[in-house]
Structure 1
């Protein structure tokens, strides 16, 4: 399977094997009885083909391309090529372009190519001119082009495959980031909405025996909250939800009142950008949900103030002094996937901070600070 993946991802040594047909001239020279010492020439040609195949296959494997073994085989191939060309000349000079292919496959990076290619071409030119005169100028040119073109094509192919792999990694990271954003949004949206529905349902149960009209009003609120939740979930799925801080404050005030908690909202400071309001809206939503579900508080104060550069939101209740519950009566603040963890990630991506913990006079306090103009989706995380 791994070998198949490597075949699909890029070229291997098989793509350079057809060029061995250039050695048929040397073979014909041997079979024609024109070459001296034909047994030595035949063994040399067989050894050349073996070394060439070994070098090109190793050169096309990223782990073995620049190992000492590959360099040793390439050196032996070069020495054998020059020996055969000097000893036999004529058709044997066509082995030089094959040597160029092997050199280009191994030395495909710019740091070594300028140091190896010119000396090789000069040496080839000296041997070919000595053995065959000016008629062999095509051999010299062919050797030069073999080195340069092979190096360029294989280096470009390697670069393209690396870019493709990087693109796939970035796409995977983007999918994971979007999945985290989506799960966090659903946690924040549904956690708050379901808490409100539970609180109002309890209010209906209490009011129904003694005040039917009030109970029906709570039922109407439940219907309204449910419809709003459907709308928000749809907007979150499409990735275009941008909450309003004023709306979140109104919802928090209503949810706290329904749970028997006195809401106190104090707002001052500069006008905020929609992105900043949306982030602070998440803090209000999560903090109010905690106060309703876990705090046991009788009063919750939501204070918003700030300067021209930064804005601060503080949510303080007078309850038990914990954020959430892990089922054993302990704070769930550090539980993976919890509300506070998601809030910290959101605010950190926008250049803000989130502090939380027991308030000095009892209860629990959440303090969020943000720049007045929080970074947009291209600077922080995707718009939710």
Structure 2
């Protein structure tokens, strides 16, 4: 059990009722008390002891469940052991008054440590109390009058242990799922931020270099390029905010237009599709991300003169006539892109261009 605090849930508040339901079995020792020719005082004292045991059990379980549910494991163990001691003391006194009928308390005594002790303590104390109870009762009252209580006690302990084990396994599975979901979300944000910033900063770099070269020769054109840089920076900021908030969705038509701007700014002849509606709507978002990253890599790394983008119903191909990828390690962008495509049930192929020169990125969904 982890020592970290956890908010109390419904089980932490009301789970003790599940254990309290079984107190109905004390009807049998109460029937014995009031149908056996004991003195009135004897009956009242024995009944009070039965009530005291039931109260001690309910309070012990209730406090233990709440404290364990709140992550207060040491406090739960200390309080639980005090309650268990009180239950054992009451049961011993009751046994001197009503004989083997007091063994109705035995299943509650051996089962209650499961609520608040770590597993080692459960095995030590619960099994120790079960063995001690069996030995003592056999020596005092014999085997046959008490064997039924032994079997019930062993069954209750087994069910309690199994219930706690299954509950802890479920909690562990839920925690694992939560961690996996958190990891996937972090990876999604990392991929999206990489794709957004990678593309935007690449275009900004190309355009600022162009503006620097034009500032003396063509000031108006340089001013226009810097204005576009400002627009791209603002758009990138908005996209980053939307990405972090999980709200950004890439649109294929927008990415085709952005590819045209980026490639033209880098002096690369862009041959782009005129119609994106032929792409299956289910695949447009994924292919939009692929197009963005592929064009960014063309602008940044390829030194190409021409870039061709082709679209189909469930596929995308981006080819350039640049220097190719032979001997080049796969970068974070392509690796993140491959993960994104595989999550969508597709495949990504990276290789040389149609004539053996340049690079081709092909995605099929």
Q: TM-score range by the shorter chain?
A: 0.5 to 0.7
Cα distance in 2 for residues equivalent to 1:317 and 1:283: 15
Q: Which aligned pairs between 1:272-283 and structure 2 lie closer than 5 A? A: 272-283=279-290
- 1:195-274 aligned within 5 A: 195-266=202-273, 271-274=278-281
Paired residue secondary structure (2:283): helix
Q: Which residue of 2 aligns with 1:357?
A: 351
Number of equivalenced pairs: 287
TM-score, normalized by length of structure 2? 0.66
Matches within 5 A, 1:126-141: none
Aligned mates of 2:3, 2:342 — CA distance in 1:
44
Matched, 1:297 2:300: no
Counterparts of 1:85-104 in structure 2 under 5 Å?
Answer: 85-86=141-142, 99=150, 102-104=153-155
**Kept after mapping to 1: 8 A contact 2:348/2:363:** yes
User: Aligned partners of 2:325, 2:3: CA distance in 1, in Å?
Assistant: 56
From 24, 27, 40, the equivalent of 2:93 is: 24
Per-residue deviation, 1:243: 1.4
Q: Which residue matches 1:344? A: 338
Cα distance change on mapping 1:3 and 1:259 into 2, 3 Å: closer
SS at 2:92 equivalent: helix
1:167 pairs with 2:174:
yes
TM-score, normalised with respect to structure 1:
0.63
* TM-aligned CA distance change 1:304 to 1:63, over 3 Å: farther
Distance 1:344 1:191 in 2: 16
1:55, 1:74 within 8 Å by CA — same for their partners in 2? no
1:316 and 2:313 are equivalent in the alignment? no
Q: Which moved more, 1:341-350 or 1:167-176?
A: 167-176
Q: How far is the alpha carbon of 1:228 from its aligned partner?
A: 1.3
Q: How does 1:95-134 map to 2 (within 5 A)?
A: 99=150, 102-104=153-155, 106-108=157-159
**Counterpart mapping for 1:7-18 below 5 A:** 8=68, 14=81, 16-18=84-86
The structure with the greater share of residues assigned to helix is: 2
Which residue number in structure 2 is paired with residue 331 of structure 1? 328
Structure 2 partner of 1:84: 140
Residues 1:80 and 1:168: Cα distance change in structure 2 (over 3 Å) = same
C-alpha separation in 2, matches of 1:267 and 1:62: 67
Deviations 1:222-259 (A, max 9, x none): 11111211221122122121111111011111111111
Three-state SS of the structure 2 residue aligned to 1:331 is coil
Cα offset for 1:64?
7.8
Q: 1:182: which partner in 2?
A: 189
Helix, strand or coil: the match of 2:293?
helix
Q: Deviations over 1:338-377 (max 9, x none)?
A: 011111111111111111122242111100112xxxxxxx
SS of equivalent residue, structure 1 residue 313: strand
